[in-house]
Structure 1
Amino acid sequence: MSFSTGDVFLIFTLLFFLYASPIIYVLLTIYGTFKKAEHPALIKAIAFANLLITVNLIYYSVTLDDLNDGGSTLQFVSISLAAFSPASISLLVNTQKKCAFYSYTALFFLSFGLYNLYYFPEKIEQDREAVIISSLQQGNIKKLQQTFNEGCPSEQATFYYLRTMAEGEIYPASSFVFLLDCTDKDHESSYSKDNFITYYQNVLQKPNINKKLLDLLLSDYYRYLNNRDKQELVTDLLNRIDNIHSDKENERFTDRLNLLIKHHPELKKFIKVDNQYILQNIDHGNASLISYIKPYYSTQNQELLLATNVLLHEDAAIVRKISRDKHILSTKILSSIGGIWGSRDVDLVSYIFRYGSEDLINWILIHSLDNTAAFDYQEKLFNHASQQEEYYCNNYLIKYTSFNPNLTDAKKQSVRQALIQKSHCQEK
């Protein structure tokens, strides 16, 4: 989208008159008043009109929250006086005494009416909203029913209030009951956040939940969830226990899921764990989730057990296994999957350098079990100096170590130097 010179000039002209309107209005009014000084009735009309304008400006600037919460008062005053300018302009146009009086009065009341038609409903809605919030805070259900004409707010408004109230301890249980009873429990939409199950899920994800609301959702309103809702609820919380979130967030999600299961043990059946699910989380290094679902699965797959030992930092167990049979370090954990793993199968020693603890990696290096040189590989890269592709020698273990979330930068550098000395190539 482009603007011509004329468009830019028009925009700047409009902005100038908008923000200069207070000065223009005052000058027009003063000039018009002096010019019509011989018309007492008109002078009184001008004085009365400006008194009303002043009262209006003060009233709205003080009572409208949009202005009190950081809205531009200058912009508000400018727009207001621009709206009343037609009456002042008429003072310069009309020369006849009677015509000047009627045209000024008519234009003023027209502007006054349109101006208040715009701002007064906003004030009414603001006052109504204040009554609603106050009633919700006090648990005044009778007042709420009167405000909503003996009924409920719209579905959208109902969920707006429920979301607003979710983390505020000031709201009583009765207000939540009133709003929750207003929701359509059967309404479903993958595109709308205004449905019961979506609200249920979102509340359980919040850092802080009104304790009364949480009790209601876990008891009285749990019965509105069907099996699909319960499956979605459990799956959603499980999916949020991952290596992206902080430990504090993961703890929150696990606590919420445990709380749900404590109140409704039947939810355990929705934690469906198989080898494929475990393998997927091993691939992503999702230690938090592997730790959580461990009581829910039992596998005899040795590759998965080795990987979970590494992920969960069960170093004593993995050291015992390696000590009994050093060949398990070459056990394939993951098939060739690309990404940082490269185009090769991922064996146990690779997985250790990618996700293992500092102590385990140190133990591997001290006992010379890394077999570093076997992980050297040729990588074709573009050389900007020679302007052509060239082959460079690199090492997978060094690469994996650089992504290990359990190592500090200093430790990564230390391990890197140790591996470089064992490699048969100079890393580029």
Structure 2
Amino acid sequence: MRNQITNALSDFFFEYETPRQVLVRNRRVGVVCRLIQLGVLAYIIGWVFIYEKGYQSTDTAISSVFTKMKGVGYTNTSGYERVWDVADYVFPSQGDSSFVVMTNYIITEGQMMGKCPELEGKHNCSSDSDCEVGAFKRTGHGQMTGVCVNSTKTCEVLAWCPVEDDHSIPDPPLLMSAENYTLFIKNSVTFPLFGVKRSNLVESIDGDYIGKCLYDPKKDPLCPIFKLGDIIKLSGFNFKTIAKEGGAIGIVVEWTCNLDMDIKQCEPEYHFHALYGNPGEKEDVKASVGYNFRYAKHYMEDKIQKRTLLKVFGIRFDIIVQSLARKFDIIPTLTAIGSGVGIFGVATVVCDLVLLYLLPKREFYKNMKFKYTDTPAQQDSESLGLDTSVYYTIEANARQAQVPGKSNDPDSEAAITGSDEKK
């Protein structure tokens, strides 16, 4: 028992096993093998290394966005002239990455808390019984008092009076001048993995340049000042159409940086997308079009609280930063190479399947590839006093003698190599 354990440990530590190799001279199989290997090589070089940049590690940025609007608007409604500046038409006013620019509005001035009739179509009635006391309607302006107003045939409500009438939206938009407003975007990004910081105010941009430049995708692609009309146009919309009822536009600041190159080549690209609606869709098939909200300005008059209500139609701008930085790293490089080398084994598997199951002489190739052990015959040879290696030599010669005569077709030739085939 001790000798068996010792022999087993000795065999384990001091012996080396190597696969048996069979060299097959067959043109068809050889061409298939080389084509598969060529395809794998093209995949590794073309897709993994060139397209996917498998030799580089990647990182996304931590980003900050600051915005500033400039421009002045003018309206003249019913003889009432008014000038609108940034403090009036931008919501909110903090310079955030998401904000609204007012392009149209409905104003209701001098509202105060009281009782007044609802708008026609909201709470229609023919008698007081149609107006439930204390009830609310989702589309109404206040709480019903239980009185039906004969002059309007609508229910009386407790609300801010007079109630807002938003049935008619001004057309053309009241603030068409918003088309000429300008937007300044200041964006900074940090790639923490590589310790790189960049700003959209790159090396070629200085104070003089900012003072006179205006973004153009071809002439001035790095200028951080954008005309609102150009943004709407580049997103695929008509400014007058979207200004009437409002909408949403996405401004994408894209950073795609190869940090193996000069850091100055890490520059932003700007893209513009319509986030609401489809520019080619007909207006009559759209549901809940536009973007609007209400806000009120409260004040006191003769000790009575009043307010001015505005229903604002505007364009919502969402500034989105997308980033991806790449830099050479030995670990993903070795991983990509190792996985590619492993894929080369596909050629061997396919060729083995062709040899062993598809070719007419598959039995011949099986005899060349596999070495069979016949335990009873081996025992017979030992009983006759034959050396085991001599027996396998005789058996191999016998198997080859059973194979049909050698053909002149080079596809039928086969040679085997390996230490166990020596005579």
Settle same-fold status: TM greater than 0.5.
no
Of Structure 1 and Structure 2, which has the larger fraction of its residues in strand? 2
Of Structure 1 and Structure 2, which has the larger fraction of its residues in helix? 1
For normalisation by structure 2, the TM-score amounts to: 0.17
Q: Which has the larger radius of gyration?
A: 2
